[in-house]
Chain A
Amino acid sequence: MAISEATRGELAELAARYPRPRSAVLPMLHLVQSVEGEVTTDGIHACAEILGITPAEVTAVSTFYTMYKRKPVGTHHIGVCINTMCGLLGGDAVYAALQERLGAGHDQPTADGMFWLERIECQAACTHAPVMTVDWEFMDDVTPASAIDVIDRLERGEVVQSTRGPAIRSFAATERSLAFPDDGLADEGSSVDDKMLAGLRVARERGQAAPAIPSGQEG
C-alpha cells in the first residue's frame, strides 16, 4: 500500500528526533507496521527516502529483528515464551495448545488473518513464567486453558486486560506505541509486584549481596 502523506509526515517527525536521522529506522519501521500491518516494500522505500539511505540498508535492519514481519500480522500478535524458564514451567504446553486452537504454526497467521502466533524468546518476565504476550502486553502465569480463554475472549470482542499493563488494543496500536511511546499508557497496570521482589527479599534476609566490583573495572 502506498504510504499516506500523513504517515510520511510522522515518519519524518521520528527521523527529526535524532542527531543522526538513520537512528530512527527502528521506530519508523514500527510505525510502518502500525499502518501497513507488516513491513511492506512501500514502507521500506518511504523510510529510505526520508532517511536518505538505500532501501537495501532499511531491509538489512528490518530483516535483522524478528519483531518486523513480512506478512500481514492481523489484528493480534500472540507470543508464547519458550525459553528455559517458561518452557519448563509450561510454556511448551501453552504453545502446543495455542497452535492447535489457532491452527497456525510458529510465525504464522491464522487462516482468518485475525491472529499471528509466534514462539518468542525470554521476555525478562521469568518470575511470572510461563508468559504469553498479546500485542506485546504481558499475560503472566498462563496455563493452556487460560491462554485459550484469552483467544476466545478476543475473538468475541471482549475487553481483555493484560496482567501488568493496559487493556489489549491491537497489534497496530502497540506498533504505534513503539513508534511514539508517549501514548499515556505507561502507568496502566502495575509493573512491579510481590513475586518479582521475592528474590530481593530473601537475599536481604540472608544478608546476601553481589561481590564488589574489582577496582579499575567499574563502569
Chain B
Amino acid sequence: MAPIAQSDRPSESAFVIKFIHSSDLHLGKPFGKFPEDVRVRLRQARAEALVKLGNLARDHAASHILLAGDTFDQTTPAPSVIRQAMNAMRAADHVVWVVMPGNHDHANATELWRQVVQDAPANVVVLLTPAPHDLAQGVVLLPAPPGERRPGRDLTGWFDEVATGEALRIGLAHGSVTDFASSEEGGSSIIPLDRARRSGLAYLGLGDWHGQVSFGADTWYSGAPESDGFKHAKTPAALLVEIAALGAPAKVTSLPTGSICWQRVPLDLTEGDDVPTLHQQILPPLAERALTLFEMQVTGRTTALTRVALEQAAAAVAPDFLSHHADFSGLATVHATDDLDAIDRNGALRAAAEALASDAADPRQTPEARDIAQAALSHLFSYALEA
C-alpha cells in the first residue's frame, strides 16, 4: 500500500514527527482460562484499546500510530476480528496507522494480511517487508517485520546498511533485545541493545515485551495497551514520541491506556499475624475491583483456624472482582491445640482432627497424602465451625 501523503495530516510544526508507539494488542486473544463473562470483558477491552490509541493520537496531535507487531493474536484470526480492527482504525482517520507484523501475526501469515490489506482503509499502512518507508517528509521508517513465529536472527541488521540520505530514521521491530533473559514467549534474545545508535536511528520502537520498558532514551518497548496476564506490574500504557529535529533526542511520554487491572498479590503469613488486616490491606479499593483480575498467592505459615478464616474472607470478597483467585498451596498450616478445640474438645471429632493433623505433619507420609490430610482437616474445621 502506498504511503499516505503527510501534508494532509495534523502535525505541530515544532516537531519533525510526533507519533504514538504501541504494540502487542493481541486482538482476538481468547482468554479461554477464564469464565465466559470475563473472557468477553477482556476481549472487549482489547478491542477498545484501538479506540484509546486513536483518541490519544488526536489528543496529542500525533500524526501516526506505529504498531510494533502482534496486533493480532493469531495468524488466522476470525474475519470479524480483522474487520472490526480495520473499522476502528478507519474511524480514527485523523491519524495514520502503521501496522507491522509481529511473531504472532508474522508477515508470512498470508491469509491474515491478505484480508487486512483487503479490509484496510486509506489511513492504514501495512509493512510486510523490510524496506524503508517514508513516514513523513524527511522521516523514514525502517521496519523489521518477522517472517515467521521464531525468526532466530536479528531482523534489524539491515538498518545498518540501508542508506536514507539526510532523512530522520526511525526503527520499528518486534522481538527481544540482548539483555532480556528471554522474550515474552521465552525465545532467544536477538536485537542488539545499541541498534539505535549503530543504525543511526532517532528512535527504535519495539514490540513483543508486554510491559513498558526503555533501554536508553532512544530504544523503547511500548508494552501492550491492555494487559493479558499478571506478569507485568506496571499499568499498561502507550508511548507518545516527539522528535523535534534531525539529531534531536526523542521525547517519550508514557500515556496510560489499560482499563482492566491484572493484579497478582503475594500474602506471606507468619504465626501471630493479624491476617484479616493484612488481607484487607492487599485488596484494591472497592471501586476498582469490578475491573480487576485479582490473584492472591498466600504463602508462609498460619494456624488452621486462621487459614479457614482467610479462606472464608477470600470467598466473601471474591464476587467484588472481575475475577478472583486465591492460591493457598504455598501456605503451611500450624495445628495448635486451641485450634483443634474449635472442632471439639474431645471425642471422635477431636480424635479425627488430631489424626488428620498428625498425618498432615508426618514427614513419613507422601507429600500428596499430607496435602490430602491437610485439606481434609480444613474441611473438618469448616464443618465443625458451621456445626
Chains A and B are bound partners = no
Task: Give residues in A with beta carbon < 8 Å to B.
Answer: none
